[in-house]
């Protein structure tokens, strides 16, 4: 009997960390870099970069030899889905007159950013070019184009009374508008003023979820960085589409429920596509943050970046017959990360490096992904490192048995 990876991972979440370590000791080949050592190199910024000694060409060789036909079909289906999504998404995000997400954005801008001094900026997939018809909408309200004014509001946000009143004022503005009265399901909407990231959580009657944060400069910069990556090559979208679907199939994609977010898996996709020390496939992308430092530098005023994000994304055409195609990228993506022990490494997107953790920097429990603008990991999922270890390794084993090669990814039948 083959155990459903999605169910076993959910079991691990419920039973806790000890259960995971017990399972690994018996059934999953775990690479313990502390015991086995590793090959280390120095990255371009002088940090130590680490490559797992367990990475081999066995898994890709077997997959491309035994399942080449199924992998070609997988590539075709993912590409077709991406093209169809892109065409439909342009209609709702691309400043077309038909009703859709674009009109939602226009109405919210009219309500919240009626002053020339404020901007409602699309962040996350809404601004990167990775949005689909099923995507939520995420915005951050830049409360002033004057940095000193924003800093003052940010300082006052530490006061709970001020924060609650400030956010309630904007929530009331939406509620009293024609758009709010006729389109928003107020039973399912609330001001999350006491959340880790305070935001207005709004749901329309059609089921569209909208999150609005305040003065999230890091979110604006990250969105702009991801957009730069997406514009480099259409296969960024293809691999990300597969990876997001895969994580959902494993029942691990639920940021509101304490599991991984779309951004977490996207970060792994982007890191892999830029990583220089994977031996079996050349990187698809340059090290984007370093190569585009004149546009992505932290020194660039966030107001300038925000205005660029207000413009629609002009995505590169999704081309067929590219090499490597998306199924090849999927296999190497699984091969690369299943050979790492996420408890032992830190992945840095700024220079696309993987470095060894030292004992004092962070605990073994967390998945350490550092994006170009964060001071620490962007992932705070409980048992995140172990859950991701299990996800990649179980997927590798199932793929070797001709499982999980269809689209959409279906792991419930494994």
Give domain status of residue 395, yes or no.
yes
% of residues, the chain, pLDDT over 90: 73
Using DSSP, how many helices (H) and how many strands (E) does the chain show?
Answer: 18, 10
Give domain status of residue 21, yes or no.
no
Give domain status of residue 131, yes or no.
yes
Residue 338's alpha-carbon distances to 53, 143, 212, 254, in angstroms, are 12, 43, 36, 22
pLDDT band at 364 (very low <50, low <70, confident <90, very high): low
What is the tens place of the pLDDT at every residue in 154-195? 999 999 999 999 999 999 999 999 999 999 999 999 999 999
Of 174, 198, 216, at which residue does a domain stop?
216
Of 167, 185, 216, at which residue does a domain stop?
216
Of 178, 198, 216, at which residue does a domain stop?
216
Question: By three-state DSSP, how is residue 334 classified?
Answer: helix
% of residues, the chain, pLDDT over 70: 81
181 and 260 within one domain:
no
Does pLDDT of 363 surpass 70? Answer: no
Count of domains for the chain: 2
Give domain status of residue 7, yes or no.
no
196 and 294 within one domain:
no
328 and 182 within one domain:
no
What is the tens place of the pLDDT at every residue in 299-341? 999 999 999 999 988 888 888 889 999 999 999 999 999 999 9
Q: Which residue did the predictor score with more confidence, 255 or 48?
A: 255
Query: Burial level of 403, CB count in 10 A (0-12/13-18/19+)?
Result: middle
- Between helix 262-274 and helix 235-249 the angle, nearest 10°, is 130
Q: Could you tell me which residues are beta bridge partners of residue 51? A: 39
Q: How far apart are CA 384 and CA 389, in angstroms?
A: 9
393 and 334 within one domain:
yes
369 and 234 within one domain:
yes
274-283 mean pLDDT: 97
pLDDT of residue 204: 94
CB 52 within 8 A of CB 33: yes
pLDDT band at 47 (very low <50, low <70, confident <90, very high): very low
Q: Is residue 408 reached through a cis peptide bond, with omega within 30 degrees of 0 on the bond before it?
A: yes
Q: Which residue did the predictor score with more confidence, 114 or 166?
A: 166
217-236 mean pLDDT: 97
199 and 229 within one domain:
no
CATH number of the domain bearing residue 150: 3.30.460.10
224 and 212 within one domain:
no
pLDDT of residue 18: 45
59 and 167 within one domain:
no
State in Å, rounded, how far the first CA of the chain is from the last one: 10
Does pLDDT of 11 surpass 70? Answer: no
Concatenating the DSSP letter of every residue in 18-33 gives HHHHHHHHHHS----H
365 and 303 within one domain:
yes
Give domain status of residue 200, yes or no.
yes
Does pLDDT of 357 surpass 50? Answer: yes
139 and 162 within one domain:
yes
Give domain status of residue 91, yes or no.
no
255 and 150 within one domain:
no
CATH number of the domain bearing residue 384: 1.10.1410
Structure tokens at 171: 């929530």
Structure tokens at 329: 């990228």
Query: What is the span of the domain harbouring residue 195?
Result: 98-216
Using CA of residue 351, residue 355, residue 361, residue 364, what is the dihedral sign?
Answer: positive
Cα torsion for 361, 363, 369, 374, to the nearest 10°? -50
104 and 176 within one domain:
yes
Give domain status of residue 137, yes or no.
yes
Give domain status of residue 6, yes or no.
no
Q: What does DSSP assign to residue 187? A: G
What is the tens place of the pLDDT at every residue in 13-40? 565 544 444 443 343 333 333 333 344 4
């Amino acid at each position: 009997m083959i155990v459903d990876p999605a169910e076993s991972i959910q079991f691990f979440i419920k039973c806790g960390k000890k259960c995971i370590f017990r399972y690994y000791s018996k059934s999953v080949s775990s690479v313990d870099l502390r015991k086995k050592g590793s090959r280390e190199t120095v990255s371009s910024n002088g940090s130590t970069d680490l490559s797992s000694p367990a990475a081999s060409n066995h898994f890709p060789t077997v997959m491309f030899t035994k399942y080449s036909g199924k992998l070609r079909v997988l590539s075709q289906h993912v590409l077709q889905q991406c093209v169809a999504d892109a065409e439909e998404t342009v209609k709702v995000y691309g400043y077309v007159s038909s009703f859709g997400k674009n009109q939602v954005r226009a109405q919210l801008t009219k309500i919240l950013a009626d002053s020339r001094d404020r901007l409602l900026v699309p962040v996350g997939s809404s601004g990167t070019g990775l949005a689909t018809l099923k995507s939520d909408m995420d915005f951050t309200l830049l409360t002033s184009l004057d940095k000193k004014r924003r800093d003052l509001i940010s300082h006052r946000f530490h006061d709970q009374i001020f924060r609650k009143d400030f956010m309630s004022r904007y929530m009331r503005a939406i509620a009293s508008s024609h758009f709010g009265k006729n389109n928003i399901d107020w039973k399912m909407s609330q001001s999350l003023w006491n959340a880790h990231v305070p935001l207005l959580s709004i749901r329309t009657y059609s089921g569209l979820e909208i999150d609005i944060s305040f003065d999230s400069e890091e979110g604006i910069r990250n969105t702009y960085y991801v957009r730069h990556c997406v514009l480099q090559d259409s296969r960024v979208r293809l691999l990300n589409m597969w990876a997001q679907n895969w994580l959902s199939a494993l029942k691990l994609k639920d940021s509101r429920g304490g599991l991984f977010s779309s951004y977490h898996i996207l970060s792994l996709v982007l890191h892999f596509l830029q990583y220089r020390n994977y031996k079996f496939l050349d990187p698809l992308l340059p090290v984007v943050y370093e190569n585009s430092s004149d546009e992505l530098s932290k020194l660039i005023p966030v107001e300038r970046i925000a205005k660029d994000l207000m413009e629609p994304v002009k995505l590169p055409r999704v081309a067929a017959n590219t090499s490597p195609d998306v199924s090849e990228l999927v296999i190497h993506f699984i091969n690369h990360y299943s050979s790492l022990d996420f408890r032992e490494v830190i992945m840095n997107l700024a220079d696309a490096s993987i470095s060894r953790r030292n004992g004092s920097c962070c605990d073994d429990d967390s998945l350490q992904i550092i994006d170009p603008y964060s001071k620490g990991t962007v992932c705070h999922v409980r048992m995140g490192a172990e859950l991701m270890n299990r996800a990649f390794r179980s997927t590798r084993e199932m793929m070797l048995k001709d499982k999980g090669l269809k689209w959409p990814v279906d792991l419930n039948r494994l």
